[in-house]
Structure 1
Amino acid sequence: MTTIATVAANFTRDLEQNYQAITDHVARARAQGVDFLVFPEAAIGGYLSSLGNHGDTIKNTTRSLPPAIRLDGPEIARVQSIIGNMVVAIGFCELADDGHTRYNAAAILDGTHVYGTYRKVHQPLGENMSYSSGTDWDVFDTPIGRVGLQICYDKAFPEAARVMALKGAEIIASLSAWPAARTATAENLQDDRWTYRFNLFDTARALDNQVFWIASNQAGTFGSLRYVANAKIVDPGGNILDTTLLDEGMAVADIDIEGTFRTMRAGMFHLRDRRPDAYGLLTETDTDASTGAQWRALAHA
């Protein structure tokens, strides 16, 4: 069995607060025998304080932006000193080698190794004014299995998870700073339409690809954003094994990766039963007017 945990917590620009939160969650996880712990998007340095064409979403400005971190910098080294032999996924703002390009990024690492990194591909609501975009999804061999990483809005795109599943991902860690709706927010945040979408995407992507899905999220508030938490662990059948709901905290579950896959994929196996020959439109990259008109016609057929 492998013990998995995922965090819902608040992370800000205060790096020392972030390190203390990481330390506290790692200690709690270690006491429960956790092998793999997932922290949210932007757990080192916090996320943007707003989304849309205002606030800190202004390209090439440092106003209110998260600290830009190099993979070989002291911030990642500090996290590694805290986590020791535990495998952890964590989000941060990555500074590229050119010294100015920023990526919304995540890494999977332990105290001595960085097993892989990911740069967010799909960007919502003006996020591209603060970050450049990644271009692909890799899957990484780690001590707890083959793990894929994605960040927040990526979960709305089935292709992202499917690519990683086809590359052999057993676990997909989805790190988020997912807020509630800005307008017509539900009185009970658990009933909010953006909370509903967050949870639906998590269960659907796990079931689509018959993988273990580990969703972390920010909690509380930061700037104009109110986060919905709901960190969770979902099995390959789309069943939620544990969740924090709206609370800060940690969801924990023991999973049998090999045994679950053997059972879930013995009959209906979604990856095996695909029909790529029928999916031509999904790989069409021609965006000229005629193709756009064709897509619109199909959408309204």
Structure 2
Amino acid sequence: MRSVTLGALAAHFGRDVERGVAKAVGIVESAARDGVDLLVFPDASLGGYLGDLRQPDPAELPPALDPDGPELAAITAAAGDMTVCIGYTEAVGEQRFNTAVCVSGDGVLGTHRKVHQPAGESLAYAAGDQFGSFDTPVGRLGMLIDYDKTFPESARTLALDGARIIAALSAWPASVTDRAARLPADRQSRLFDLYDCARAAENQVFVVSSNQTGVMGSLRFLGQAKVVGPGGDILATTRSKGGMATVTADVDAEVDRARRVLSHLAELRPDTYRSTTPADQR
């Protein structure tokens, strides 16, 4: 067992892909100098997120990138010994996915395509259809993309697949229907923190949660990047500002300690639970 430094980034990334890549590479290099082992960027760091969540304009969608293209190659080259999770719009033939990729200097370690789509996101992206964990230099890890973490089954699937760290990449805005005058008072601000803490506590894992800041179109992003421990406690946070929340921890030791007496995964009773398919769809 060993200690690793986990970093969750809050930052603004816009439509300019070249500028986004340069900014991301600079952040990776700075984090490496600071000894960060896992760096989690926000969703849609390369090319930005939608400007309107309800009715996205087809003419203003984020540029779709080739997963084998030079943009991700630059992030991979910069990563070196670090594990880096970053979000972008992935081009797969005629389809577009809201995608997170996890890389190190050795190449791609894992990929996740956002499964759950809020409001009008399905007008801009195809949906992913699976959750899976994978091994990395910092331990077994799984990824979620913003709205995915609203659903407990998402994080639980990753934990049952062995993840001890969940990287939650977000472009999570303030409420689009009832925005508060101050971001900390916005109901989405409360929910964003609540989901991070609940998913960590339910599964007794670390959650490294990033988010966009600033404005894209009609959306104003919350920030609130954080690292949550396996007891559901926020160990470090940027609050609504940009920056990086970092925590150094022995992940395996902390997860094992959280599960020593009450082990939620071991004490599951799946034989007693109803199907998660809604009754009107069975």
Q: Same fold (TM over 0.5)?
A: yes
TM-superposed CA distance for 1:286, in Å, is: 6.0
CA distance in 2, matches of 1:223, 1:71: 26
CA distance in 2, matches of 1:215, 1:249: 12
Match of 1:70 in 2: 66
| Alpha-carbon displacement from aligned partner over 1:53-109 (angstroms, at most 9, x marks no partner) | x242xxxx4x1111111211111112223222211000011111xx21111000000
Question: What residue ranges of structure 2 are gaps of 5+ in the alignment?
Answer: none
CA distance in 2, matches of 1:65, 1:188: 28
Match of 1:299 in 2: none
Match of 1:91 in 2: 87
1:212 aligned to 2:206?
yes
Q: Which runs of 4+ in 1 moved over 3 A?
A: 284-288
CA distance in 1, matches of 2:6, 2:179: 32
Amino acid at match of 2:249: I
1:8 aligned to 2:1?
no
Range with bigger deviation, 244-253 or 28-37: 28-37
CA distance in 2, matches of 1:218, 1:272: 35
TM-superposed CA distance for 1:29, in Å, is: 1.2
Larger Rg: 1
How many residue pairs match? The answer is: 280
TM-superposed CA distance for 1:111, in Å, is: 2.3
1:110 aligned to 2:104?
yes
TM-score of the two chains, using structure 2 as the length reference? 0.96
Report the secondary structure of 1:280's partner residue.
coil
CA distance in 1, matches of 2:238, 2:30: 15
Range with bigger deviation, 23-32 or 266-275: 23-32
TM-superposed CA distance for 1:182, in Å, is: 2.3
1:176 aligned to 2:170?
yes
CA distance in 2, matches of 1:4, 1:128: 32
Match of 2:150 in 1: 156
1:35-46 to 2 correspondences below 5 Å:
35-46=37-48
1:287 aligned to 2:280?
yes
Report the secondary structure of 2:210's partner residue.
strand
Report the secondary structure of 2:60's partner residue.
coil
CA distance in 2, matches of 1:201, 1:210: 14
Match of 1:236 in 2: 230
Question: What residue ranges of structure 1 are gaps of 5+ in the alignment?
Answer: 292-301
Match of 1:250 in 2: 244
| Alpha-carbon displacement from aligned partner over 1:126-163 (angstroms, at most 9, x marks no partner) | 10001000111010111111010110000100000000
Report the secondary structure of 1:183's partner residue.
coil
CA distance in 2, matches of 1:173, 1:258: 16
CA distance in 2, matches of 1:134, 1:181: 24
Match of 2:128 in 1: 134
Match of 2:183 in 1: 189
1:26 aligned to 2:22?
no
